Structure 1
Amino acid sequence: MQITRSSVDTAKGPSDWFTGDVYIDAVAAAPDPSRVSANLVHFMPGARTHWHRHPLSQTVFVTEGVGLCQRRGGPVEVIRPGDRVLFEADEEHWHGAAPNRLMVHLAINEGDADHDVVHWLTPVTDEEYAAAPSVTD
Structure 2
Amino acid sequence: MKLAVLLREDLPVWQRLNVTAFLVSGLASAHPELIGEPYLDADDTEYLPMFGQPLLVFAGSKETLTAAHGKALARGWTVSIFTSELFHTGNDRDNRAAVRGVPSDALDLVGLAVHGPRNAVDKVLKGASLHS
| Both structures adopt the same fold (TM-score exceeding 0.5) | no
Q: TM-score, normalised by structure 1?
A: 0.21
Between Structure 1 and Structure 2, the one with more strand by share is 1
Larger radius of gyration: 2
Of structures 1 and 2, the one scoring higher in RCO (CA 8 A, sep 6+) is 2
Between Structure 1 and Structure 2, the one with more helix by share is 2
